[in-house]
Amino acid sequence: MKKSLYIIVVAMMLILAACGSTTKKESGTDTDSASKKTEKAEVNLYTSRHYDVDNELYKKFEQETGIKVNVIKDEADVLIERIKREGTATKADILLTADVGRLYRAKEDGLLQTVSSDILSKQIPENLRDVDDMWVGLTKRARILVYNKDKVKPEELSTYEALTEDKWKSRVLVRSSESVYNQSLLASFIEINGEEKAKEWAQGIVNNFAQNPEGGDRDQAKAIAAGIGDVAIMNSYYFGQMLNSTEPEEVKVAENLGVFFPNQETTGTHVNISGAGVIKGSKNAENAVKLLEFLTGEEAQGEFASANYEFPVNENVEPSELLKSWGDFKEQDIPLSTLGENNAKAIMIFNEVGWK
């Protein structure tokens, strides 16, 4: 009995060794550097951002510091689950997400650790950092309104709330409630206006739908062009991408639309962040902090802004020309962690009012 167990173990080790060696060969990485005597400088990143510009920045970081950046990309929730299950043994050093709600969740689950870095404090405004310094913002995206210049005068637009008025019946376009951007939008309203008001708003938008939610953010803009609706709620950076699309028709569509930052007179435009935190028990915590400092530094922030049409968090960095042309705007003034806190509630409201 014991003998057979031993045989199984040895057999598994052999297979494992075979697999391990292919891993190394194929990916050119070293996932178990510990087996080598000399510590190789590296930092392991679990990220839900998957932009080419990110990869370029990691490469640059590697060149500057000699610290190798290893990456696994997937949806934030899946990554969080993997870290949870790996427990203290996890190889992850940084969790990077495209939504603050997920960082909040990771923090709640006790996956993150406090980071104290003067550089980070200097580079990132306080409101874009966690109160316990467990996560920091990297980039900002605003949830803006775009409208058909022919049918809507900018004066007619004012707030997110105003879109629930009768005059917008069958004119409002927005994607499904499965989008985390909509969830955090509603979560912010729960924080600002209370649950009841937030539900009324969601119901009002559903009543004014130009069509059942379908497609992504870009599709909402296209639906305006196609005449299905007149005003759409979408993310700033998708709109920036459309204006610079490789498909000339998309550029044409975007050029015919106006950009409007809602709630300027009242509570401010909804902003979500892409952010990152260092994993509790990280074996490369120092390197991890270095990477965060690099990503919020002026050079990287400039890259984010110009290549991806995101708003930089570092106040020393100007947004790209395009973003600047949309002018300064007032942001919602609520703790970002509330977006995470209210996320589940937001989803329940969406389900209750039938926002698909």
- Confirm or reject binding of residue 281 to another protein (CB under 8 A): no
The single-letter code of the amino acid at 171 is R
- Confirm or reject binding of residue 230 to another protein (CB under 8 A): no
Residue in the structure block whose two tokens are 């960082």:
103
Inter-axis angle of helices 285-296 and 298-308, nearest 10: 60
- Interaction residues for another protein, span 200-229 (CB under 8 A): 212-219, 222-223, 225-228
Nearest-approach distance from CB 311 to another protein, in angstroms: 17
Between 25 and 155, whose beta carbon lies closer to another protein? 25
- Interaction residues for another protein, span 181-200 (CB under 8 A): 183
- Confirm or reject binding of residue 348 to another protein (CB under 8 A): yes
CA distances in angstroms from 30 to 24, 41, 89, 228, listed in the order given: 6, 11, 17, 52
Q: What are the tokens at 156?
A: 């007619």
- Interaction residues for another protein, span 18-77 (CB under 8 A): 19-20, 22-23, 26-29, 31-32, 34-35, 44, 50-52, 55, 70-75, 77
Between 223 and 231, whose beta carbon lies closer to another protein? 223
Quote the CA–CA distance of 194 and 184 in Å, as a whole number: 14
Sign of torsion, CA 198 204 208 214?
Answer: positive
- At residue 226, what are phi and psi to the nearest 5 degrees? -80, -5
**Among the residue ranges 144-152, 173-181, 260-268, 297-305, the one whose residues contact another protein (CB under 8 A):** 173-181
Nearest-approach distance from CB 328 to another protein, in angstroms: 27
Between 43 and 292, whose beta carbon lies closer to another protein? 43
Q: What are the tokens at 347?
A: 């989803």
Nearest-approach distance from CB 30 to another protein, in angstroms: 9
**Among the residue ranges 85-93, 136-144, 156-164, 258-266, the one whose residues contact another protein (CB under 8 A):** 85-93
The single-letter code of the amino acid at 315 is E
Quote the CA–CA distance of 139 and 186 in Å, as a whole number: 20
Whether 113 contacts 119, CB under 8 Å: no
Segment (H or E) for 75: none
- Confirm or reject binding of residue 12 to another protein (CB under 8 A): yes
- Confirm or reject binding of residue 338 to another protein (CB under 8 A): no
- Interaction residues for another protein, span 136-155 (CB under 8 A): none
Quote the CA–CA distance of 134 and 120 in Å, as a whole number: 12
Among 57, 91, 293, 311, binds another protein (CB under 8 A): 91
